[in-house]
């Protein structure tokens, strides 16, 4: 198994550097389920941020790209189920992708509710707003 950095996936998806895109494509095409490329949660978080904020890719398209990557033969995502769920929800609007991944991690270890000062995040199931004086009832 090898690991992939964010910039490899960015080049693969955007083609903003044709030489690097060709190299990234060749690398990904050589991966197999037996010899996969590992994609860490941090890479996914950075990828979503770079595509959305650096390249101006709309949220819905970012979500579609994540699903395509999740379905790519030879890629192994850390917490793939969290990524898939967060991508689906992120594409519909609301809280940021990173916030959705934080909530998914909290759910996975049964540490809910997730308390936050983020108003959009606090409206999601299993999240709650921190209020003046402490925890929300």
**Residue 70: its pLDDT value, please?**
97
Residue 12 phi/psi, 5° resolution?
-60, -45
Q: pLDDT tens digit string along 82-121?
A: 999 999 999 999 999 999 999 999 999 999 999 999 999 9
| Per-residue pLDDT, 132 | 75
Q: What is the mean pLDDT of the chain?
A: 95
Please name the helix (run of DSSP H) or strand (run of DSSP E) that holds residue 127, with its range, or none. Answer: strand 127-131
Query: Can you tell me which residue has the tokens 């983020």?
Result: 118
- pLDDT over 80 (residue 76): yes
pLDDT at residue number 136: 57
- Render pLDDT for 39-70 as a digit per residue (tens, 0 to 9): 999 999 999 999 999 999 999 999 999 999 99
Tokens in use for 18?
């044709």
Nearest-angstrom CA–CA distance, 21 and 1: 21
Residue bearing tokens 């991690």: 105
């Amino acid at each position: 198994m090898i690991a992939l950095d964010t910039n490899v996936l960015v080049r693969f998806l955007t083609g903003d550097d044709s030489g690097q895109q060709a190299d990234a494509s060749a690398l990904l095409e050589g991966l197999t389920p037996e010899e996969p490329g590992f994609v860490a949660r941090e890479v996914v978080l950075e990828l979503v941020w770079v595509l959305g904020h650096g390249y101006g890719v709309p949220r819905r398209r970012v979500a579609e790209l994540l699903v395509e990557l999740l379905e790519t033969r030879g890629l192994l995502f850390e917490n793939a189920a969290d990524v898939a769920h967060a991508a689906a929800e992120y594409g519909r609007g609301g809280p940021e992708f990173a916030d959705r991944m934080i909530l998914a991690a909290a759910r996975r270890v049964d540490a809910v509710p997730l308390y936050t000062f983020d108003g959009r995040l606090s409206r999601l199931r299993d999240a709650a707003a921190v209020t003046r004086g402490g925890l929300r009832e």
